[in-house]
Structure 1
Amino acid sequence: MGRIDVDKIDYIISSIENLEYGTLVITVHNGQVTQIDATEKKRFDHAKVTK
């Protein structure tokens, strides 16, 4: 297993801190982080519509 670059760790932490709902996928190849995918979901309250 290789060492993880500090810039990659900082990016991962920042991504987690800025994510309210969603997923963060970290791809590792040969012991190295090669890709980070963030998918954010936005949730809206269900407001009743009155006529």
Structure 2
Amino acid sequence: MCKNYYDNDINTSTEHLKATDWLRLPYICFLFGMIAGVLVMAVLAMIFI
């Protein structure tokens, strides 16, 4: 009984982790995209100015 409860707890916690990771991932990608875009703009400005 305790073992089953523990296994279920592990399964739900890993599922919860996966769900939060999937929620967090696009936000991090968006953030990195913004930073990369700003860096590219800065480099282009340095070249052209």
TM-score range, shorter chain: 0.3 to 0.5
Question: Larger Rg: 1 or 2?
Answer: 2
Q: TM-score, normalised by structure 1?
A: 0.36
More helix by share: 2
Q: Structure with the greater relative contact order (CA < 8 A, sep ≥ 6): 1 or 2?
A: 1
More strand by share: 1
